[in-house]
Amino acid sequence: MMNSSDKQRKAEDQNAAEAIAARIRKGLDENQWSQQELSRQSGVDVMQISRLLRCEIGLSAVTLVMLADAFKCSTDEFFPIAVD
């Protein structure tokens, strides 16, 4: 059984995953790239990109840098600003 802090952590993880997926979609749209082209440009496996877009996996620091480099953006753009 999850306690309230576990539920909050899970919600935060889901929000982060959704923000990452949204930034990837934005980059794909801005560049008019397919997932395959993003894979070619970034060096990130196309299946990993697909799973990130479906919020199935987390984002490693290495993958974050690879995607940010491909999109020519800051890594900060992948995460929502927390407002407390």
User: What does each of the 84 residues of the chain score in pLDDT, given as a tens digit?
Assistant: 768 888 888 888 888 899 999 999 999 999 999 999 999 999 999 999 999 999 999 899 999 999 999 999 999 998 876 555
Per the structure, the complete domain to which residue 29 belongs is given by 4-74
In a domain, 81, yes or no: no
pTM of the predicted model as reported, rounded to 2 decimal places: 0.85
- Structural domains counted in the chain: 1
Is 82 contained in some domain? no
Asked, for residue 84, whether it belongs to a domain, the answer is: no
Distance set, CA 33 to CA 3, 52, 66, 70, 81 (Å): 42, 16, 15, 11, 26
User: Where residue 30 sits, what CATH number does that domain have?
Assistant: 1.10.260.40
